[in-house]
Structure 1
Amino acid sequence: MEGSVIHWVGAVIGLVLAIVLIFRKLNPVYALFAGAIAGGLLGGASIEQTVQIMIDGTSSVMGAVVRVLAAGVLAGVLIDSGAAERIAETIVAKLGEKKALFAIALATMIITAVGVFITVAIIIVAPIALSVGKKIGLSKTALLLALVGGGKAGNMISPNPNTIAVAKGFDVDLAQVMINGFIPAVVGLAVTVIIAKMLSKKGALVSDTDQADDTEDKKDKPSFGRAMVAPIVAIALLALNPIGSILNIEVLKAIKIDSLIILPLAGIIGLLAMGKIKHIIAYTTSGINKMTGTAILLIGAGAIAGIISKSNLSAVVVDAIEVMGVSGTLLAPIAGILMGAATASTSTGSIVAAGSFGGAILNMGIPPLNAAIMVHTGATVIDHLPHGNFFHVTADAAKMNIKERMKLIPYESLVGLSMAIVATIIYGFLQ
């Protein structure tokens, strides 16, 4: 089954069908499976070939799935112990009301960067943001943009499902993806704050009913220092090998510990530091439950990525780019943008883009790490469309109705686009 056995039209129809089914509220995994089956059959493959291609596609993402599930240990510890909330509260309190939007964006960025899934990070910081916004008269539009933009920036440098997915998709080191995503992330944070300040008085203000009841959830949260132990350990261990490579230190270069080991280990060390090791079963159970949905979604993404990768779609896109006179370097961010929009998910979009266009991107002479960064940032440009759960979860977090939430989409896209442009300049045109 070598080469393109599926016509690109069938693959595209399958992808469109998956999007329509997601819009119709079918479970995204089943929608992706249905789209993959339709794409294979309509593209000219037999039933047997279609099933085998789907299985091969899901097999290709198993490494990412296992690492995402392992990351649940760290996520569960940070969230359920109150560590993530303590970190957010401290950042906002230290920076003060005059820098409220920057503080909110930075807090969400850091919470996401240390391993909390972006939607959960926004849910954690949102009550703090609404409280500050109510006090100083900031609009909910500005507050949510600060939350979303900060989360998107943090996603570029985090050991989260999206980064794990793109690293595995291009077979590069997770820590290298995180480190090289730093400059785009900083640019994304800056653009977020600038736009949020422009929107600070536009849109509905925070009302009394939008705020959470202060009497609820009085859990015993750790000190800021203890809350930071788990993320510091995780980042330090992940950075050992890349730092060794950068500084040419043989001892550090020889240390190759996978995130599959590092992230759970960091979570356990964090528990010990916070004196909450007795909660290990409860926190890890909660963590894996939080990651299961994403892990299963990646399997669905692998199925449809398998179909697209066995079609001639990437060749058609490359030909179109050449006809238009556009640089082939742009294929990486364009693939990320298109697949991020199609799946309304950074992690799923990254997997589909890597699986579908990875070969064509690398054939243009782009190094795997550079390709991973450009696809990753591209996937953040339009990953917040209404057929994904991110759109609805963030609307609920900021107490917004759908109409208000829709108005934020162009501004979110500007944040993602700024990161994609910077990444493409640095890792595409300047390389």
Structure 2
Amino acid sequence: MTGIAISWGGAVFGLVLAIVLILKKVNPVYALFGGSIIGGVLGGASLNKTVTIIIEGTNSVMPAVVRVLTAGVLAGVLIESGAAEKIAETIVEKLGEKKALLAIAVATLIITAVGVFVTVAIIIVAPIALSVAKRVGISKTAVLLTMVGGGKAGNVISPNPNTIAVAKGFNLELTQVMIAGFIPAVIGLIVTCIVGALLSKKGVQIKDSDLVVKTKSIDNERPSFLKAMVAPIVAIVLLGINPIGNILNISFLKKISIDSMIILPLAGLIGLLAMGKTKKVIEYTTSGLNRMSGTAILLIGAGSIAGIISNSNLSSVIVGIIKSSGISGTLLAPISGILMGAATASTSTGAILATGSFGKAILAMGISPISAAVMVHTGAVVVDHLPHGNFFLVSAQSVKMNISDRMKLIPYESIVGGSICAAATVIYGFLL
């Protein structure tokens, strides 16, 4: 598509309208489509032109949508077999009560990093974390902050929808974005433990009634830890073949390039075989598909508004503001991630919006695709926990925390997310 079809004012109005509709509890997908249509028309495009732009925008996210749906096989196997819960439980047990906060953060990080949604990871870890924290006198506030921080850190190195969307948006391999997020994730983990320790005796205390929460899976017979780890290990090994080949300059490994669309479901099926649960394949994969379908549809809605914004002059206006203010153009990448993550209160939607809307402008500033991807991606986790998103409510429900107390945790979550983004920006924006 050539030229500017929509004015930046119309695009911004459409985005703001979508956010307002989401706040009014309108289904996010319809809110995004509605905002796209109104934004396009008010921005000066005809109704037919607006529809064309929206369709092109949704088409641009289809590669990510397909990969998200196939990733449901791995997610379904890990969650419904009890493997994810077993992994979390083992990590907490091995690190022990003296390192309870570290154990909770690491458990959530790993469960998220192997491909489980961060909201689901918190639901899985919550009952284990609350039980351990109650015994050592750690507050519920510290427990939730630690799980959220671990989840944010795991999210930037995971094969989750947000990482898939960013990788494909910048024409990168999924593994490249996952590996590049490792150091920022470690920084986020460290900051999580520090902030969690400061909150350990503050805020809401854990009651006995809070310990009755149980996670449910289709299969009540959980596998051993070693069997539970088969699927994640297979996924990590297969995803790492090509990057390792490039790093070590091994021509044989460099030639092996398997897409995550194949690797993630294959890893799930191999894990299923290792756990001896092949008879459950239909139940587990159906559950995984159901868990991923909502996000996949949401990405399509995000693609529609991203199409409107990318076909407007909004990015050039923002670039002009940045240049006139004297701020480094490098900051456009993390700022766009932060703004879109905050607008949608979703890492996945924020990442796809920022990538689709500002990707070309970021690259035009001379920033490499991998640096742009990591800064946009980590920016999206800074304030993705705002009240108009489902993450806010689900995380509160996981530990039986009321909305007022949950609101008080937002600044501390932002510190953790900000540390991840700051680390990525320093490394990929200024050092590399």
Could you tell me the TM-score, scaled by structure 2's length?
Answer: 0.98
Name the counterpart of 1:234. Answer: 235
**Alpha-carbon distance between aligned partners in 2 of 1:42 and 1:308, rounded to the nearest angstrom:** 13
CA positional deviation for 1:289? 0.2
Q: Deviations over 1:8-27 (max 9, x none)?
A: 11111110110110000000
**Alpha-carbon distance between aligned partners in 2 of 1:268 and 1:209, rounded to the nearest angstrom:** 38
State the identity as a percent: 72
In structure 2, do the counterparts of structure 1 residues 322 and 214 end up closer, same or farther at CA, with 3 Å as the change threshold?
closer
1:130 maps onto 2:130 in alignment = yes
CA positional deviation for 1:327? 0.3
Name the counterpart of 2:140. Answer: 140
In structure 2, do the counterparts of structure 1 residues 216 and 239 end up closer, same or farther at CA, with 3 Å as the change threshold?
closer
Name the counterpart of 1:174. Answer: 174
Tell me the SS of whatever aligns to 1:211.
Answer: helix
Tell me the SS of whatever aligns to 2:381.
Answer: coil
**Alpha-carbon distance between aligned partners in 1 of 2:213 and 2:145, rounded to the nearest angstrom:** 23
**Alpha-carbon distance between aligned partners in 1 of 2:318 and 2:299, rounded to the nearest angstrom:** 24
Q: Deviations over 1:246-289 (max 9, x none)?
A: 11000110001000000000000001111111100000000000
Alignment of 1:348-387 (within 5 A): 348-387=349-388
CA positional deviation for 1:130? 1.0
Name the counterpart of 1:73. Answer: 73
In structure 2, do the counterparts of structure 1 residues 328 and 222 end up closer, same or farther at CA, with 3 Å as the change threshold?
same
Q: Deviations over 1:48-95 (max 9, x none)?
A: 111000000000000000000000000000000000000000000011
Contact 2:333 2:362 in 1 (8 A): yes
1:200 maps onto 2:200 in alignment = yes
**Alpha-carbon distance between aligned partners in 2 of 1:354 and 1:188, rounded to the nearest angstrom:** 22
**Alpha-carbon distance between aligned partners in 2 of 1:261 and 1:421, rounded to the nearest angstrom:** 33
**Alpha-carbon distance between aligned partners in 2 of 1:251 and 1:344, rounded to the nearest angstrom:** 43
Name the counterpart of 1:417. Answer: 418
Q: Which consecutive aligned stretches of 4+ in structure 1 deviate over 2 angstroms post-superposition?
A: 213-218
CA positional deviation for 1:293? 0.3
Aligned residues: 431
Gaps spanning 5+ residues in structure 2: where?
none
**Alpha-carbon distance between aligned partners in 1 of 2:220 and 2:149, rounded to the nearest angstrom:** 28
Name the counterpart of 2:33. Answer: 33
Contact 2:371 2:429 in 1 (8 A): yes
CA positional deviation for 1:176? 0.6
Tell me the SS of whatever aligns to 2:409.
Answer: helix
Alignment of 1:206-225 (within 5 A): 206-212=206-212, 219-225=220-226
Q: CA RMSD in A?
A: 1.2
**Alpha-carbon distance between aligned partners in 1 of 2:428 and 2:163, rounded to the nearest angstrom:** 17
Residue type at the aligned position of 1:245: N
Residue type at the aligned position of 1:421: A
Alignment of 1:310-325 (within 5 A): 310-325=311-326
In structure 2, do the counterparts of structure 1 residues 215 and 74 end up closer, same or farther at CA, with 3 Å as the change threshold?
closer
Q: Deviations over 1:284-340 (max 9, x none)?
A: 000000000000000000000000000100001000001110000000000100011
CA positional deviation for 1:430? 1.1
CA positional deviation for 1:214? 7.0
CA positional deviation for 1:216? 8.0
Gaps spanning 5+ residues in structure 1: where?
none
**Alpha-carbon distance between aligned partners in 2 of 1:63 and 1:170, rounded to the nearest angstrom:** 12
Residue type at the aligned position of 1:121: A
1:330 maps onto 2:331 in alignment = yes
Name the counterpart of 1:4. Answer: 4
Residue type at the aligned position of 2:302: A
